[in-house]
Amino acid sequence: MALVEIENVHKRLGGSDILRGISLKVDAGEVVCLLGASGSGKTTLLRCINHLETIDQGEIKVAGELVGYARGADGKLRAERDRLTAAKRARIGMVFQRFNLFAHLTALENVTEAPVQVLGMSPDAARRRALDLLASVGLEKKAELYPHELSGGQQQRVAIARALAMEPRLMLFDEPTSALDPELVGEVLETMRRLADGGMTMIVVTHEMSFAREVADRVVMMADGQVVEAAPPEQLFSAPAHPRTQAFLARILAAN
Amino acid sequence: MVFDSKAFFDILFSTMFIMPALTTLGITMVAMALAILLGFGGAMAALSGVRPLRWLAHCYLGFFRGVPVLVQIVFWYNAIPVLTGNAINLPALIAGTIALGLNEGAYMTEIIRSGLIAVDPGQREAARALGMTRPQAMRRIVMPQALRIIVPPTGNQFIAMLKTTSLLFAIAVPEIFSTGTNIYSQNFKYFEVLAVVSIWYLALTALLTTVQKAVERRLGARKNTRRLAIPAGEHG
């Protein structure tokens, strides 16, 4: 069974259709990259998966469960209680474009906060695990520093460790390298690549074509709120079938 | 001008102002505590997704900021008993403290609200994405960062409140200024009495300023935590 099932999802925002009937399945262990021009709806789709955005029509299931909604007796979806949604979100990691590390907490505290507060883990156990995770992203020496004392690449690696501390079964990445200086992109991509190699299920919105080409199992091309093409990277990059994909890749290649 | 220095020093070093000074300080503390509680409630209401709550906060703010505080003080002491057929007839001290607290709560609502909205929305979003409930995200992530913005102006409000308590002389609360008016209405030493009154207020504001500085230093002790997450938009 697919870990993530997206069925005919529609979303309107500010009077325009952001998502227009998206369907997509992601299997456990799969790495899917979402590509598309800005405004194609890829970030919105990602944010719908853990219910940071509501959806207007259709449904999204993670591990067989709706997130943010419950099905009523009449078969219609209604908003779920906050506590239940929160518990489901706890198992879905998210990494943001602008890192969003908690500014008043050290790197270590950023990683221990949710395990202690949400999972009820003991501070000692959370601390040990956080130090392991920080070591795994190469930042064990930065544990006591505050976010503004870290480079963008280091902040994003802490953010990845913070998400992993919740032992997620799915990781969502929203343009994780777009806010980074070019020389810092590599260290974050390397961390993500190791995560993918370890078997993590990942959905990644990115403009890093080399990452998509080398790490993704499947690349999904979005345009105007729809999936126009989904294929393994070698196929999509070498022989794009859809004119929108061809135009997008031509623009990207020209820009590089 | 004749300055009666003997009268001045007699009043300055008498014990006449000790109880009034404690009264002034007590009213300030209780009124500010009430105002801060109201401010948190008002700010939550003003920022809530529930329209009637926002509307309520809006009305509270508009009313209490729009009516002079002296009018509110007299209203609580003199009009409320008439209005309620003496069912509510509060002592001047309590009526005055409530009036000051309610009025100040409107300003605290604005201070706390602006502190909360100054925290990058990405902070709350990250907290929610990690599985925190709304109250957890507020208490653990948003509020600690908002407090650093809220505390300095709140200190100023404390000092302003200390001076505003002098308006309670209108309903004969035995605070510093009304004690002074009682004295000079008997000995007509206006200048000497008001000089002493001023010295008492200066001493108390100096005390509050010291406390304010200490609190701010404490908050700033983990210096690097003072910097707030900058909203994404401002960075581009």
The helix-helix angle for B92-117 and B143-164 (nearest 10°) equals 150
Pairwise CB contact (< 8 Å): A103 & B128: no
Partner residue facing B140 (CB), from A100, A113, A148? A113
Q: Are A80 and A69 in contact (CB under 8 A)?
A: yes
| Residue B230 CB neighbour total at 10 angstroms | 13
Q: Predicted confidence band at B217 (pLDDT cuts at 50, 70, 90)?
A: confident
How far apart CA B156 and CA B144 sit, in angstroms, is: 20
pLDDT above 90: percentage of residues in chain A: 92
Residues paired with residue A62 on neighbouring β-strands, in sequence order: A4, A65
How far apart CA A189 and CA A206 sit, in angstroms, is: 11
The whole model's pTM is what?
0.86
Mutate to test the interface with B, among A43, A97, A99, A100 (most CBs of B within 10 A): A100
The predicted pLDDT at position A54 comes to 94
How far apart CA B230 and CA B232 sit, in angstroms, is: 6
Q: Are A22 and A29 in contact (CB under 8 A)?
A: no
Nearest to A248 by CA among A231, A223, A227: A223
A89 Cβ under 8 Å from any chain B Cβ:
yes
Residues in chain A closer than 8 A to B232 (CB atoms): 97-98
Partner residue facing A98 (CB), from B122, B148, B228? B122
- The residue assigned the tokens 């198992």 is A91
pLDDT above 70: percentage of residues in chain A: 100
Does B91 have pLDDT greater than 90?
A: yes
Does B231 have pLDDT greater than 80?
A: no
Residues in chain A closer than 8 A to B137 (CB atoms): none
Q: Predicted confidence band at A191 (pLDDT cuts at 50, 70, 90)?
A: very high
Number of domain units in chain B: 1
The predicted pLDDT at position A88 comes to 95
Partner residue facing B140 (CB), from A87, A90, A117? A117
Q: Are A44 and A17 in contact (CB under 8 A)?
A: no
Residues paired with residue A9 on neighbouring β-strands, in sequence order: A22
The predicted pLDDT at position B232 comes to 43
How far apart CA B130 and CA B126 sit, in angstroms, is: 6
How many beta-carbon pairs under 8 angstroms link A with B? Answer: 88
Per residue in B106-118, pLDDT tens? Answer: 999 999 999 999 9
Q: Predicted confidence band at B2 (pLDDT cuts at 50, 70, 90)?
A: confident
* Assigned token pair, A36: 């598309």
Residues paired with residue A22 on neighbouring β-strands, in sequence order: A9
Pairwise CB contact (< 8 Å): B235 & A166: no
The predicted pLDDT at position B225 comes to 45
Is the complex ipTM higher than 0.90?
Answer: yes
Mean pLDDT of all residues in chain B? 91
Per residue in A78-107, pLDDT tens? Answer: 999 999 999 999 999 999 999 999 999 999
Q: Predicted confidence band at A3 (pLDDT cuts at 50, 70, 90)?
A: very high
3-state secondary structure of B187: helix
Does B230 have pLDDT greater than 80?
A: no
The predicted pLDDT at position A39 comes to 87
Nearest to B131 by CA among A62, A72, A224: A62
- What is the phi/psi pair of residue A152, to 5°? -55, -45
Does A4 have pLDDT greater than 90?
A: yes
CATH number at residue B55: 1.10.3720.10
Per residue in A33-76, pLDDT tens? Answer: 999 998 899 999 999 999 999 999 999 999 999 999 999 888 88
Tell me which residue range forms the domain holding B106.
5-234
Mean pLDDT of B45-52: 92
Mean pLDDT of A142-157: 96
Mean pLDDT of B208-222: 82
* Assigned token pair, A149: 């004392």
How far is the CA of A100 from the CAs of A176, A219, B41, B120, B122, in angstroms?
11, 26, 27, 9, 6
3-state secondary structure of A61: strand
Per residue in B137-193, pLDDT tens? Answer: 999 999 999 998 999 999 999 999 999 999 999 999 999 999 999 999 999 999 999
Mutate to test the interface with A, among B50, B120, B130 (most CBs of A within 10 A): B130
- What is the phi/psi pair of residue A79, to 5°? -60, 140
The predicted pLDDT at position A163 comes to 98
CA of A241 vs chain B CAs: smallest distance (Å) = 34
The predicted pLDDT at position A167 comes to 96
Q: Predicted confidence band at B1 (pLDDT cuts at 50, 70, 90)?
A: low
The predicted pLDDT at position B218 comes to 82
What is B60-86 written as a DSSP string? HHHHHHHS-HHHHHHIIIIIHHHHTTT
Per residue in B113-132, pLDDT tens? Answer: 999 999 999 999 999 999 99
| Residue A126 CB neighbour total at 10 angstroms | 22
